[in-house]
Structure 1
């Protein structure tokens, strides 16, 4: 499987911080979407294991709101498939693979045949292993690690993957044989992103160079000068943590933005204001923001989530698509896992982002991506669409892991 260790490609806004103090999940708690199945129709149980608490709780909330909207949309507001109620049981993974696996084993022990959820790649990998061992359907959420694609026949994904992010960045490179400089921290995250750029853009003929910065660095002027001296045609930034603000300021002070387009991932809306005026100088690759797609399905997503008091954001469509996939699997496969898998493989449908296809060979989710810029709107900063990149142009290479 190509670049199996690649991590999420994302630029981090200056205010981003991380915490390891994830609360412990209550293993005995659960909530369901309804108390009883439709009269005479029975019910089908679906377990959703996601971050209700923990460091990724904000992303988990987006996913859950999207999931509920997607099921509502795909069932015309009934929550039923052929008179059978889809009964959701939610469990909190608290950002912990061990907690998630414990919850999965409990639900599987109760004869759940369908599991979904998680925004964490580490959790998704552990869940995929459980799905294969117990032969249940697992639909991963926003987790972006490429290893999830093709990991086994029982695992699907409802969001994009890192290689699609990198391919979107490549759409901004006018000369495919030009020089791409990756500016990243010298850790697993940065090295993984460098590997993705080499695998995708390098394969297209680009010359890939790197400026890897020690993780404990606090002064970035010299590294910014190295980027300028490399005379790049595109600069790809992969950064995480509290030093992001200083890093971006150093790039601005050294006139890096005048040298070549600077590309990074557009995160969720909570990060937009933190860039300040520098945000207008960055070219963002984007998985989703509410104003990007011009589709009836996205209109339905926005209407449902907003009407329920939520705010559509980066990972809302991943939940929505998971809802569509769950309904499709049950509609065509009933409670037969093999039939559910067959119903999803090769399925082409209209998702929030447009025409979306589950690739039969490895279950990659082929979908459009976006490029964007941040613009000031009064006191706020909002994303503005530059281009929609067609799904086939950002499709990841096929894997052969399963």
Structure 2
């Protein structure tokens, strides 16, 4: 039997009289290194439902009840909590933060024949080799990140620094494949993997510098990192001595605030609050600033995207019947802070734009961090189908 701490959830919503509540499980890694991602996902999900329901928190007259569970980033616990949620007759589930935990949850969705919307885990296997028909992903995957980054690099030499776990290795694998897929002539010359919670990057960074310093220009050190980013520590080792430029992936706003000294550095990102122009994002930015005195971050937007998918699906299928939901969601379009997204029929991956950014030289306020170089449309990201359906 699960302990009370594991089993307890946070419930939002109430009794709708004769109409039964629509029950949604939101599983997130609220404890551990990815806690901030989980917190943002929950905030975005609840704000998304608020926006889409006009504050009523109901769909087709049925009240929405969201049950939040903390899997602590542990695959075994994620699997257990999802099974518990399905046993408790939730209509649909959303989660989770860690790719390892998300992968462990996929067979549970198949066993129970219940829909799982994956957000924000990015491992390619989720909509690839480990996928099943009950799995839909609103989050981007590693290959979408990689294709966006590769689209900005046409030649030269690349080395990667990543965390030594599913996300990091997936990101580097995708990065190499993306360079080939986009026709880039850039060559990958080295890969370094550091512990997830590493704080000393001296040795791996020196190896990266040694591998890059005599290779053709431009020389790019690409960083794929979840959580506190090592960019500042690497920059302190002066890569410019060897003609090496850093290429950070997008990160949380508090992390990117520390990058001001690297104005002009370019990278690619899944979401930055100032880039999309649409009603949903305008509302999210204004309301988030009002409530939290800061703009929404990338995982807040991801949570809101998941809410958009859940809302659209349950509108189409008022009964929340699983098989009808699967049929309705294949190819379905839904609102998100990035605009209208669509689930690809073949693998249920949400196709979406990405953004090429430059760190601002002149920042008007503490959150005026990035300028948009270009929105990269989904149509320019040749995302392969890998689930062998």
Q: What is the TM-score normalised by the length of structure 2?
A: 0.87
Q: CA deviation at 1:59?
A: 0.8
Task: Encode CA deviations 1:90-131: one digit per residue, 9 max, x unaligned.
Answer: 111122122222211221111223111211111111111210
* Corresponding residue for residue 265 of structure 1: 249
Match of 2:281 among 298, 321, 331: 298
Confirm or deny that 1:315 pairs with 2:292: no
* Corresponding residue for residue 11 of structure 2: 32
* Corresponding residue for residue 6 of structure 1: none
Q: Give the 3 Å change call, closer, same or farther, for CA 292–181 of structure 1 in structure 2.
A: same
Distance 2:331 2:219 in 1: 35
Q: CA deviation at 1:222?
A: 5.9
Distance 2:243 2:341 in 1: 37
Confirm or deny that 1:387 pairs with 2:374: yes
Confirm or deny that 1:57 pairs with 2:42: no
Q: 1:181–1:211: 8 Å Cα contact kept in structure 2? A: yes
Q: Give the 3 Å change call, closer, same or farther, for CA 310–392 of structure 1 in structure 2.
A: farther
* Corresponding residue for residue 344 of structure 2: 359
Q: CA deviation at 1:310?
A: 6.8
Structure 1 stretches lacking a partner, 5+ long: 1-23
Confirm or deny that 1:370 pairs with 2:355: yes
Q: CA deviation at 1:42?
A: 2.2
Q: 2:219–2:243: 8 Å Cα contact kept in structure 1? A: no
* Corresponding residue for residue 81 of structure 2: 103
Confirm or deny that 1:168 pairs with 2:159: no
Match of 1:139 among 99, 117, 120: 117
Match of 1:89 among 67, 90, 94: 67
Task: Encode CA deviations 1:20-77: one digit per residue, 9 max, x unaligned.
Answer: xxxx98123222112312x333211111111222221111111111101111222222
Q: Give the 3 Å change call, closer, same or farther, for CA 310–327 of structure 1 in structure 2.
A: farther
**Residue correspondences, number:** 371
Q: 1:51–1:93: 8 Å Cα contact kept in structure 2? A: yes
Match of 2:332 among 347, 351, 358: 347
Q: 2:248–2:267: 8 Å Cα contact kept in structure 1? A: yes
Q: CA deviation at 1:186?
A: 8.8
Distance 1:231 1:70 in 2: 47
Q: 1:218–1:243: 8 Å Cα contact kept in structure 2? A: no
Task: Encode CA deviations 1:261-308: one digit per residue, 9 max, x unaligned.
Answer: 642201001112333412x14212110111111111111222333344
Task: Encode CA deviations 1:156-189: one digit per residue, 9 max, x unaligned.
Answer: 111111111111112212x4xx334123259556
* Corresponding residue for residue 137 of structure 2: 157
Q: CA deviation at 1:221?
A: 4.7
Q: Give the 3 Å change call, closer, same or farther, for CA 87–223 of structure 1 in structure 2.
A: closer
SS at match of 1:229: coil
SS at match of 1:315: helix
* Corresponding residue for residue 159 of structure 2: 182
Q: Give the 3 Å change call, closer, same or farther, for CA 221–31 of structure 1 in structure 2.
A: closer
Confirm or deny that 1:230 pairs with 2:215: yes
Q: 2:189–2:211: 8 Å Cα contact kept in structure 1? A: no
Structure 2 stretches lacking a partner, 5+ long: 195-199
Q: 1:221–1:251: 8 Å Cα contact kept in structure 2? A: no
Distance 1:234 1:323 in 2: 40
Q: 1:181–1:230: 8 Å Cα contact kept in structure 2? A: no
Distance 2:280 2:68 in 1: 25
Q: Give the 3 Å change call, closer, same or farther, for CA 300–242 of structure 1 in structure 2.
A: closer
Q: CA RMSD in A?
A: 2.5
Q: Give the 3 Å change call, closer, same or farther, for CA 355–131 of structure 1 in structure 2.
A: same
Q: 1:25–1:94: 8 Å Cα contact kept in structure 2? A: no
SS at match of 1:163: helix
Distance 1:171 1:342 in 2: 34
* Corresponding residue for residue 197 of structure 2: none
SS at match of 2:247: strand
SS at match of 1:305: helix
